Structure 1
């Protein structure tokens, strides 16, 4: 019997037991679909976070109070950065194009009978340039607003909807911590960055925040939550990090460890890539367990099939079929089940990826490599787990097989 006849006979056998064949494929279908979907969604999550980091602004460096060891041990880090540090970076570091500082606090914002607890961001006029934000309506505050500690506020897009709905908020008065502020502008949609949702935040001049909302607590100047600096270009980021480190060490008169940490977009992207890659691998491995379970299911069903088809095997061997013919037929049946299950599972996985992309912000991607690997592995599983029942069928004695029937 040649290979083509073995394939035809295997196909007829599987079609004669459609329900059993379908149930045998189920484990492979679930395994393949899960592996492909998990890898695609994991890559989509990685792209989503990378886009969020890129939206922070071009060539951004974050200067954060406290060294890395202190930050790991405690969230309550003493603020070691002041507004004068940001001004020094802007004027004394040649590789920096612009800097801004942020002083964050939680306050209740009220407009008429509507109130909400939001993040109040005290910042500088250079915020728009450094963070690559745009004003949708009105204007942003100026150097004059900051020097005079004017009580003006720029609203995030979502906060504007909460407080004003479809009404234009520009020139309206809102209250922040019992102080009246005039709305002068609304930012475009941006989303959250580093855990801060700017769409639901309110931005005020940093001196106004210190004088009216937070208060000054340091004898060395106005403490800030962190400083954000924009390098002149991507090639200047490493040099800017080195120069900022030297400048702040001199300003803070440090001898030992730094009392600040500098983080760049490149560092953040590498960290995100490592974490998301590990999570994707872990999820794919968990999903891959179902492929193994599916292979065991194939072996179990094929062993049952050998028992049920004892008479057929005996008859075929009695009329001249060799052990190799019987072995080949059962292996082909197992591989066909695995490959068809793999293809159906691939369709299910791709469908899940398309659905996730349509219903969520994740740009889940279809990986040709993962599809090829999943289908190849499923075929290999069919071959591996099909060998035991195939060998058992091939080794049946024809006389014993005919008698047992």
Structure 2
């Protein structure tokens, strides 16, 4: 039989039972849409994380208290870094350009009748260079502010808008933990970093933070939340990481495991990529189960179709159709159901990715490989699960088929 004629007959048969054909394709549609959407969203999450870390600058290093094991196994991070460590890094590590020690704390901020629970960062003037921040209005913390423990604050763009609205913030007084601070500057908008809004943050002198807000708890000096260091250039990052590690091991007299961790942007990005990649594979695998369920549905409906069309099969065999013709006929119907369901599911999946990209910060992208794999797998599933009913139809005895009609 002419293959084109077989395709026409298959289309005619399927369109004669539109509702049943549509329900048969539903599992394939859902499976394809889910796989394509999950892969696209996973890739979008990886791109989003990469952009977030790139906003830190390619040369940034974070020195965090506690070993990797201690950070994973305890809720409270040990306080093993002090201001003297940051000063030693700044003066003794030649591959470092700027070093900014930080003390972070969440406190209640008050201006007149307006309140906000925001992150306070105690730091030094080098913070601007190390973190690539810019002042939009007024000034940032100065060395004189550190020496005198001045009660001055630079506001993030969003917290300034929240507290002052259209009012000029520079020169005004706000209260942090019932301590009065004068606003000396407003930062340029920086955006969020992995869910942390950097524009809803306030910056005060490190010494003032230690003495007036959080207090001193280390006998070795001002204890820090972490230290940010920027290497001189991208090629110096590994050297800076090695030199900082050796310096701190000597300062802390470490013979065994480190009591600190030096992380680069690349290290953090690799961790995030591994996590998001594993989640993407897991979600795509779960969504792929729908494709298998859809294949079972196709086989089930095609088996029912063989029983319903016993008379038709017997009649076609009686007028000369071979077993191969009947086999091809039912195989084509299965593949059409699966391929059409795959195409519809692809459009739905691509539309879902576009919707996610429109309403969330994730720049979800359409993966051509995911589309090809999903459509190819759905077509293969139709072919695979169509074999049993097609063989059953092809083996029917024409005399028995006509008598049973």
TM-score (norm 2): 0.97
Residue 170 of structure 1 deviates from its aligned partner by 1.4
Residue 117 of structure 1 deviates from its aligned partner by 1.9
- Aligned partners of 1:193 and 1:62: how far apart in 2? 15
> Is 1:83–2:83 an aligned residue pair?
yes
Change (3 A) 1:343 1:196: closer
> Is 1:248–2:229 an aligned residue pair?
no
Q: Tell me what 1:238 maps to.
A: 238
- Aligned partners of 1:138 and 1:403: how far apart in 2? 96
Q: Tell me what 2:344 maps to.
A: 344
Change (3 A) 1:15 1:319: same
- Aligned partners of 2:188 and 2:284: how far apart in 1? 38
Residue 196 of structure 1 deviates from its aligned partner by 4.2
Residue 257 of structure 1 deviates from its aligned partner by 2.1
Q: Tell me what 1:42 maps to.
A: 42
Q: Tell me what 2:323 maps to.
A: 323
Q: How big is each residue's C-alpha offset from its partner over 1:98-133, in whole Å with a ceiling of 9 and x where there is no partner?
A: 110101112211100111222111011111111112
Does the 8 Å contact 1:40/1:367 carry over to 2?
yes
Aligned ranges for residues 210-249 of structure 1 at < 5 Å? 210-249=210-249
Give the secondary structure class of the aligned counterpart of 2:379. Answer: helix
Unaligned runs of 5+ in 2: none
- Aligned partners of 2:160 and 2:282: how far apart in 1? 41
Give the secondary structure class of the aligned counterpart of 2:61. Answer: strand
Q: Tell me what 1:148 maps to.
A: 148
> Is 1:260–2:270 an aligned residue pair?
no
Q: Tell me what 2:368 maps to.
A: 368
Residue 316 of structure 1 deviates from its aligned partner by 0.1
Does the 8 Å contact 2:49/2:194 carry over to 1?
no
Give the secondary structure class of the aligned counterpart of 1:401. Answer: helix
- Aligned partners of 2:191 and 2:49: how far apart in 1? 12
Give the secondary structure class of the aligned counterpart of 1:340. Answer: helix
Q: Tell me what 1:397 maps to.
A: 397
- Aligned partners of 2:7 and 2:67: how far apart in 1? 67
Aligned ranges for residues 151-300 of structure 1 at < 5 Å? 151-193=151-193, 196-300=196-300
Q: Tell me what 2:309 maps to.
A: 309
Q: Which range moved further: 186-195 or 130-139?
A: 186-195
Does the 8 Å contact 1:191/1:198 carry over to 2?
yes
Report how many aligned residue pairs link the two structures.
405
What root-mean-square deviation, in Å, do the aligned CA atoms of Structure 1 and Structure 2 show? Answer: 1.3
Does the 8 Å contact 2:339/2:379 carry over to 1?
yes
Q: Which range moved further: 131-140 or 21-30?
A: 131-140
Q: Tell me what 2:19 maps to.
A: 19
> Is 1:335–2:335 an aligned residue pair?
yes
Residue 194 of structure 1 deviates from its aligned partner by 6.2
Give the secondary structure class of the aligned counterpart of 2:386. Answer: helix
Q: Tell me what 2:96 maps to.
A: 96
Q: How big is each residue's C-alpha offset from its partner over 1:134-186, in whole Å with a ceiling of 9 and x where there is no partner?
A: 22222211112222211111112222222122322111110111111111222
Give the secondary structure class of the aligned counterpart of 1:137. Answer: strand
Q: Tell me what 1:73 maps to.
A: 73
Give the secondary structure class of the aligned counterpart of 1:63. Answer: strand
Residue 254 of structure 1 deviates from its aligned partner by 2.1
Q: How big is each residue's C-alpha offset from its partner over 1:173-232, in whole Å with a ceiling of 9 and x where there is no partner?
A: 101111111112222332343664322221101111112111222221111110011111
- Aligned partners of 2:103 and 2:228: how far apart in 1? 11
> Is 1:381–2:385 an aligned residue pair?
no
Q: Tell me what 2:135 maps to.
A: 135
Does the 8 Å contact 1:306/1:393 carry over to 2?
yes
Q: Tell me what 2:114 maps to.
A: 114
Does the 8 Å contact 2:10/2:329 carry over to 1?
yes
Does the 8 Å contact 1:155/1:187 carry over to 2?
yes
